[in-house]
């Protein structure tokens, strides 16, 4: 008996295309699993696939990672000619006191951060956290803060993304450097639209009143941990909230900083 006689619908074009779609999906899923297993088994560099150890980029790739020039604004870490305050910080001093950024936000750092943040690749996030912790431990972060605070994500965003990338980074950095971390002292109480398309003033208005903090930060030097620093408007708003609650000093600890053209 022919199959078409039993169930003619099995031969329909719609059914065949559904099977093809499902088998494509399954093949992609299998490929992803195989890549993850291969990476774990050989401990390949997440940038070039070459040999490395402990999930870190290989020595050649680490060497090639974009770093910020040594001469930077002491407050926001934007490159300046002689390490003096930049024009923006002179004109409108932000509520945070200093910025520590391990890397410049451009290729391949931008791709690594996107892979971590939007594709949920935690191994890449851990590699980024370790790169920051090494930079801080090597003297890039003196004076050391007494407390790390991950940039809070609004509960709606957290639900959509499934994890807070800043909290993952902060936990790892805290462990590596032996500094306490607290996720409970600050909260994002207002969800705000994406900042990317907005001007600096719009960004500043956009995040007004977005955070609430507790007095647990009173008298402390706190460092806010985040993945990227762009204009600093969000960070400035959280630093304002921390200072209102008595924080003595607020540092920005970011894996990467964008450098304006």
Q: Is 93 in the site for Zn ion (CB under 5 A)?
A: no
Calpha distance 184→147 (Å, rounded):
12
Burial of 33: CB neighbours in 10 Å, binned 0-12, 13-18, 19+: exposed
Question: Which among 60-68, 100-108, 114-122, 219-227 is the span making contact with Zn ion, rule CB under 5 A?
Answer: 60-68
Q: Is 86 in the site for Zn ion (CB under 5 A)?
A: yes
3-state class of 126 per DSSP? helix
244 preceded by a cis bond (ω within 30 of 0): no
HSE-up of 20 (CA within 13 Å, CB side)? 7
Question: Which among 88-96, 127-135, 172-180, 209-217 is the span making contact with Zn ion, rule CB under 5 A?
Answer: 88-96
Q: Is 68 in the site for Zn ion (CB under 5 A)?
A: no
Candidates 68, 73, 172, 254; binder of Zn ion (CB under 5 A) is 73
Q: Is 58 in the site for Zn ion (CB under 5 A)?
A: yes
Candidates 8, 10, 37, 50; binder of Zn ion (CB under 5 A) is 50
Positions 131 through 190 that interact with Zn ion (CB under 5 A): none
Question: Which among 46-54, 125-133, 146-154, 238-246 is the span making contact with Zn ion, rule CB under 5 A?
Answer: 46-54
Kindly state the smallest distance separating residue 154's Cβ from Zn ion, in Å.
27
User: Residue 3: how many CB atoms within 10 A of its CB?
Assistant: 9
Q: Is 254 in the site for Zn ion (CB under 5 A)?
A: no
Burial of 260: CB neighbours in 10 Å, binned 0-12, 13-18, 19+: exposed
Selection from 144, 217, 127 nearest residue 178 by Cα: 144
Which of residues 48 and 123 has its CB atom nearest to Zn ion in the complex? Answer: 48
Which of residues 47 and 207 has its CB atom nearest to Zn ion in the complex? Answer: 47
Kindly state the smallest distance separating residue 51's Cβ from Zn ion, in Å.
9
HSE-up of 150 (CA within 13 Å, CB side)? 21
Kindly state the smallest distance separating residue 167's Cβ from Zn ion, in Å.
26
Which of residues 201 and 218 has its CB atom nearest to Zn ion in the complex? Answer: 201
Q: What stretches of the chain show up as alpha helix (H) in DSSP?
A: 3-6, 13-42, 59-64, 87-91, 109-119, 122-135, 155-161, 165-177, 200-206, 233-244
Candidates 39, 43, 44, 48; binder of Zn ion (CB under 5 A) is 48
CA–centroid distance for 113 within its chain: 6
Binding-site ranges for Zn ion (CB under 5 A)? 45, 47-48, 50, 58, 61, 73, 75-76, 86, 89
């Amino acid at each position: 008996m022919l199959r078409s006689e039993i169930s003619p619908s099995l031969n329909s074009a719609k059914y065949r295309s559904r099977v093809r779609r499902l088998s494509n999906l399954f093949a992609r899923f299998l490929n992803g699993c195989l890549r993850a297993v291969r990476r774990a088994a050989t401990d390949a560099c997440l940038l070039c696939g070459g040999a490395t150890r402990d999930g870190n980029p290989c020595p050649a790739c680490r060497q090639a990672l974009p770093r910020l020039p040594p001469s930077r604004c002491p407050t926001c870490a934007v490159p300046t000619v002689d390490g003096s305050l930049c024009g923006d910080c002179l004109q409108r001093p932000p509520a945070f006191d200093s910025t520590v950024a391990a890397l410049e936000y451009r290729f391949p750092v931008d791709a690594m951060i996107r892979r971590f943040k939007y594709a949920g690749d935690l191994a890449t996030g851990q590699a980024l956290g370790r790169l920051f912790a090494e930079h801080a431990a090597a003297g890039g972060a003196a004076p050391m803060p007494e407390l790390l605070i991950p940039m809070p994500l609004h509960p709606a965003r957290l639900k959509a993304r499934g994890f807070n990338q800043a909290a993952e980074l902060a936990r790892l950095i805290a462990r590596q450097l032996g500094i306490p971390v607290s996720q409970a002292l600050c909260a994002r109480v207002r969800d705000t639209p994406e900042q990317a398309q907005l001007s600096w003033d719009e960004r500043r208005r956009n995040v007004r009143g977005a955070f609430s903090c507790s007095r647990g930060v009173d008298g402390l030097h706190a460092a806010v941990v985040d993945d990227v620093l762009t204009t600093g408007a969000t960070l400035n708003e959280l630093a304002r909230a921390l200072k209102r609650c008595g924080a003595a000093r607020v540092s920005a600890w970011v894996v990467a900083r964008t450098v304006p053209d």
